[in-house]
Structure 1
């Protein structure tokens, strides 16, 4: 009997999983509750894959031997609950793809900095001449690449949602940057559930594998005490030097791996801000484990261009610098953004709240922010946190209105910062759409 694989969701990861399943001779059916985009419908037809859209036909789905689901579908959705009741295994695309690849997997997770670190490492590995693919939350579907490319290495950005559907997948190098409250709406508002999800990156690691982690993060430090892993532990810190694999000493970034010491001046890093020192340390350690030459590591850390929608300088208009940080979808990301500002800030904030505690931003807002523009359908929590704490706080119902309001409040030599600290789904398709609209409205001023 041919094994039947049903794929839920026909986006990048779903169609990629379908292509891989078909290439392995499985009976494949793809089901998407929404409308499939033209790009992916074309791909499904090209590979002669059976699919449906705008519905989930349960009689066809329940024939599955195994289901691969999109990370966007929560485990609590009625269809997933029914599948689990029927003992039909439900896995993520990454889990499925990992079965068919012998490539080295360098996997990155954390609440913040994942994309920057992933792209920085990919940049480094390409520069080193490795045959490397970029996958997970960024780049192309891992499954699609496993089906059609013959990469020796993959750099994979993993969200907690992807990790939740992973069981036998093994990372050769796992990087855990930080853990701060995020997506708590998907974890019953219980922080321990979210922490457990992030630590799944360690499952199945062996003694020849490496775990790179930030020891300045109290949650990671505490959790590691109760964590049993065979992987080699490679901690990094900007506060401590003793027993670290990566640290800062006299403004120098240092990495000691086995007998090799790597060192470079912190001011030569291409990306500004303390959070990027962490991202650079993590990337440099992974590069050292992979035995990439020191010159290549140094060059990569000094010429990397950064990530779209992450502290991206747009333009100056009449001396006011506009900065797009739309990728900041949680409080911690916004904390780092505000921390790295040197001029007075007009801050555009708001969207779909994921259980935010704005109190942690209070001191930074007092020190750096002169005005707030609330951009969201429900801004009550932002007002409750900051009314009376800044000179001006106003509401906007569109990006055009938000940019114009911010422009009116800001003066020459000041900054307008879009750093929403929230998800984008109330007014925008996603954070990219939000960032692109911001850039467009700024250029229209």
Structure 2
């Protein structure tokens, strides 16, 4: 029997891992500059965390979660997204304990959804996300979007379109909800079974249906922006004004709804406009969720956040021709001939690594020519050669692989000479 990867998963090999590390490093640095701090939550949670936090009318909860029973007959679920877990932790650990405090968090890690695998959409995928909890200030919405755009800019992504909408407060959404029911109800039998069940539970979700998106009633459905009360309209105007002041381009799309039930007020998606990126253009999504903390038993606490798939960011970077980082090269490769030289090489290897050099040596008992090939294959800038003569004279030969120049140096001068060789070649 052949043992293979489960469908919808992937191995991240060393040449690809450096790209992932690059994206994660940039995202972390930007978040830290915006005073966001890292939080890490479990890969699995009690199922109720997601049925309550994500919403039991969503496709995620109804169709896509990996749920199982443990030996104590408890229902557990591999996390399909990060926000619900972060909010659960926020409440459980009483991070709201300091009055009028704003908690700014970021996270990264694997998520799991059972859906049809395709480019950039896997059953196990990695998300990077942020959550800001404790403030209902519209300027914070703009800051979160500015953070997202800064990450993209630092990664070299420029072919982007930011789409925003307002889902309004509870009163605005209730008014819109009744209008949607009135709009769809006479012809609801023409829609899929999911939409039919959503009509009374959460009719806003009908607008996000992929099966019925071409139905004529979708194009004439009441827009949430027409039902915003004065407070919600003013809030949205402040968000847009701040984005304008930050010189962040955006489009307002009254049909934009998020796939999770906990959003209100600002909702947004970031899309790639790079030629050849693919039919599914969304890179990132997020929005404000002013009622989610209460769902987990915490105090009334507003929040806003976003998450993006690292896999999709990599596809966008490739589509835009962004130069991707390569596997790091070696500073030096030690070529040792004989047992005593290998022993000396092992000690030197340790000394150089302590000095911050990236170095390696042969452990396969290869001949000298094969060791040089290994050095070249690993992109070593220099080789450090230790043979019988070098041992007898307490010396080593440093050869610059690019120029072929080499120099014999005293053993105690290897660290200094190697540094000089890496900078600009060797001088006889």
- TM bin, normalised by shorter chain, reads under 0.3
- Give the TM-score, by structure 1 length: 0.20
Q: With a CA cutoff of 8 Å and minimum separation of 6, indicate the structure with the bigger relative contact order.
A: 2
- Give the TM-score, by structure 2 length: 0.21
Larger Rg: 2
